[in-house]
Amino acid sequence: MTKVGIMGGTFNPIHFGHLILAETAYEEIGLDRILFMPSKNPPHKDSTEVISEEHRLKMVELAVQGNPHFQLSTIELDREGTTYTVDTLAQLTKENPNTDYYFILGADSLIKLETWKNCQGVLDLCTVVVAGRDDLKTEDIQLKIQYYKDKYGARIITLNMQSYELSSGFLRDRISKGKSIQYYVPEKVKDYILSNFLYMSNSN
């Protein structure tokens, strides 16, 4: 079986935190590749804060360039309507029956997993890979993991990695205030943001 990781999200914008998490999962689990999957209409996000999919797609494309095991996937952007993880996993599993999927997320997302559409379906179709965050107690994360295992039969892997606290919202705030994002995002992503005046005066 091929082992494929999935990094989903708005990537608004993509940053080194996303890339470090993906690379750690790749190494620790022994994945064959990782799909970076920008979402079209994320149900849990305020649409007024999410810039156009064309810009988000281009930033992800620039961010994964040069890494042979990172790959851009447009599966969610190509689908009409609101995108749900369970639908994406069902489509991927049907199209690639000899592939095991590993859905990579932060501990904050793991805590909220039951609010996702068809949580049971999501957990049936993939192994969840979770990274801890400093703002969530490790014992709380472990209790939640055990809860998902007992209630849903979930397969969950916890990464052994240094917490890297960085959010897209933090970067959007810095950009809107004219502050530097050097060393927070890949150089090509930084140049793209600045040249297209993204996140400045509500630019879309």
Average pLDDT for 115-129: 97
**Percent with pLDDT over 70 in the chain:** 90
Taking the CB of residue 127, how many other CB atoms lie within 10 A of it? 17
Residue 194 lies in a domain: no
- Assess if residue 175 is contained within a domain: no
Mean pLDDT of 72-90: 92
Q: How far apart are CA 129 and CA 58, in angstroms?
A: 26
Per-residue pLDDT tens for 8-59?
999 999 999 999 999 999 999 999 999 999 998 655 555 557 899 999 999 9
Banded model confidence at residue 163, pLDDT cuts 50, 70, 90: low
Is 108 inside any structural domain? yes
Q: Is the pTM of this model over 0.75?
A: yes
Distance CA 189, CA 58 (A): 9
| Residue 141 belongs to a domain | yes
State the residue range of the domain holding 151. 2-165
Split into its structural domains, the chain has a count of 1
Distance between CA atoms of 99 and 119, rounded to whole angstroms?
Answer: 20
Asked whether residue 91 is assigned to any structural domain, the reply reads yes
Q: What is the CATH number of the domain that holds 102?
A: 3.40.50.620
Higher pLDDT, 200 or 187: 187
Q: Looking at residue 136, what is its pLDDT?
A: 63
On whether residue 32 sits in a domain, the answer given is yes
pLDDT-based confidence at 204, cuts 50/70/90? very low
Q: What is the mean pLDDT of the chain?
A: 91
In-domain check, residue 19 = yes
In a domain, residue 187? The reply is: no
199 vs 40, residue with greater confidence: 199
Please answer whether residues 193 and 181 qualify as being in contact, where contact means their C-beta atoms are separated by less than 8 angstroms: yes
In 3D space, the residue among 17, 16, 155, 19 whose CA is nearest the CA of residue 89 turns out to be 155
